[in-house]
Amino acid sequence: MQLKPNAYRLNETVKGIETMTRFALAVLALASGVYTYLGVRGLLDGSANFVFFAAIIYSAAVSVAIYAFWSFMLRFVPLVTLGVQRIALFLTMAIGCVMIIAMSSWLNAAALAGSAALEQHMAVTLQGYAEDLDNAHANALASQSLLPDVQRAAERFAGLAADERENGALTGTQGSGSVVQLLTQMSAQMSQLGASISASRDEVAGLFEEGSTRLANMRELVSTPGAIEPRSDSFQSEAVQLSAVIAALQQTDIAASVKRAAADLSAGFIAPVANGQSADLANRQDQVMETVRVSVAAQSAALSAAADEILATPSVEQRRFVPLSSAEAVLAYWSDFIPSWAGAISIDLLPVVLVLVLMIVNDAMRKDSESLAEAETITAAEMLRAMALFRQMETAGIDVATGQPKPIAEPIPTQEEPAPEVAEAPADEGTVTPIDAAQRKRTDGPRPA
């Protein structure tokens, strides 16, 4: 059994936690100010004293603004009952929450996850540089695939020259003549082209090894614990060197050189004059040299097509590492740090829950006190005066409920009792005066004899 109404108990409870509510609101505002200071300090440039005082002033203003705003909401929202006014306050509270997130929450997130966000930025950039190095190396190695074709062509021309010299396989007459000279010339050109391709292979391998070393240094900078600022500076320096290596790899691509050399084979083909001693031998030499020219043109076309296919591969775009501040990194990679964002926003917007709790409690108190609104505030003196007035009204015959006099009830008639017989007195006692019966009716009963 409750000795006091529920509305009274709720009111006393709200008064009891008022101090704790103010203390909790002050702690939340102070915590938000501290993290705001840590976040805004990384955005300011200038001397150390300027950065310190500017960050302190901004964080103090944020703390005061948060405390004042939620104090207003805690005071006014629970007291407003009309729907339109309550909706207006909710709209005001929503605008205030957006402003708090804009001026504080994202800086809190930067303080909570700024270093991790910068490491994430470096890791993403490192992955991009690794892909660029692999693509540049693959493009450079693609030109090396032309080397076997060039070597086979050089060996074929050299073999034909040897057969013609020793056996006369082409003209039917052995010995060194115009055909042998032409075949030897083509073999020498192909061998020179193959040597150029082979030389570029060593250069490509050296550049790829240097790029791999740069990547290893960058991975170490990403994973090494410690302050993020010096690591970011070293990472940027390594990124610049790696970009130079990737550019050098693209310049070592021999495909364009192979295409030009292949075109020179066909366009710059110069057949020697047939030097046969007889007209028949000279005619046969001319026929063989024409065949060699056709073969060289076919080989040139094949090499040019292969080089064009390699050159059609998209080149690697030059990548540049863009350094970010901790706040910018948190905004850029916000989806990877949702827990940090949730914690930063909760520090600023947790009082929303307190406002809603107080609003619900005040609504409950108003509902419970509607039936006994006057009884909640009446004093003992007023109660005594009311009781005395009630007794006076009862005595005066006034109906308390209506305030009108009570109707007078008509007497119910009763049957008169027969008069009792009076015994005659003895004669010797004298004359006795008779008693009127009506007088007897006014008494409660007959008098004793």
Predicted pLDDT of residue 60 = 93
- pLDDT of residue 125 exceeding 80: yes
- Kindly state the average pLDDT of the residues 11-18: 80
Predicted pLDDT of residue 69 = 93
- pLDDT of residue 447 exceeding 50: no
Predicted pLDDT of residue 114 = 83
Q: Grade residue 172 by pLDDT with cuts at 50, 70 and 90.
A: low
- Kindly state the average pLDDT of the residues 276-300: 69
Predicted pLDDT of residue 95 = 94
The number of helices, as runs of H, and strands, as runs of E, in the chain is 15, 0
- pLDDT of residue 302 exceeding 90: no
Beta carbons within 8 Å of 132's beta carbon, 6+ residues apart: 246, 316, 317, 319
Q: Where are the alpha helices (DSSP H) in 168-278?
A: 178-223, 228-251, 255-267
Q: What percent of the chain has pLDDT over 90?
A: 10
Q: What angle do CA 306, 290, 163 make, to 5 degrees?
A: 85
Q: Of 20-29, 43-52, 92-101, which gets the smallest average pLDDT? A: 43-52
Residue with the bigger pLDDT between 301 and 1: it is 301
- pLDDT of residue 405 exceeding 60: yes
Q: Grade residue 382 by pLDDT with cuts at 50, 70 and 90.
A: confident
User: What distance in Å separates the CA atoms of residue 359 and residue 66, rounded to the nearest whole number?
Assistant: 19
Q: Of 19-23, 164-168, 273-277, 314-318, which gets the smallest average pLDDT? A: 273-277
- Kindly state the average pLDDT of the residues 90-99: 93
Residue with the bigger pLDDT between 95 and 404: it is 95
Predicted pLDDT of residue 401 = 64
Q: Give DSSP secondary structure letters for 46-68.
A: S-HHHHHHHHHHHHHHHHHHHHH
- Kindly state the average pLDDT of the residues 400-418: 59
User: What distance in Å separates the CA atoms of residue 163 and residue 255, rounded to the nearest whole number?
Assistant: 32
Region of residue 425 (phi > 0: left; psi between -120 and 50: alpha; otherwise: beta): beta
Q: What is the largest CA-CA distance in the chain?
A: 220
User: What distance in Å separates the CA atoms of residue 125 and residue 231, rounded to the nearest whole number?
Assistant: 14
Q: Grade residue 372 by pLDDT with cuts at 50, 70 and 90.
A: low
Query: What are the start-end ranges of the E strands in 300-407?
Result: none
Predicted pLDDT of residue 96 = 92
Predicted pLDDT of residue 1 = 40
Predicted pLDDT of residue 428 = 46
Q: How many CA atoms are closer than 13 Å to the CA of 188, on its beta-carbon side?
A: 6
For the chain, the first-to-last Cα distance in angstroms comes to 65
Residue reference for tokens 């990472």? 235
Q: Of 212-226, 291-305, 353-367, 392-406, which gets the smallest average pLDDT? A: 392-406
Residue with the bigger pLDDT between 250 and 401: it is 250
Q: What angle do CA 176, 182, 188 make, to 5 degrees?
A: 105
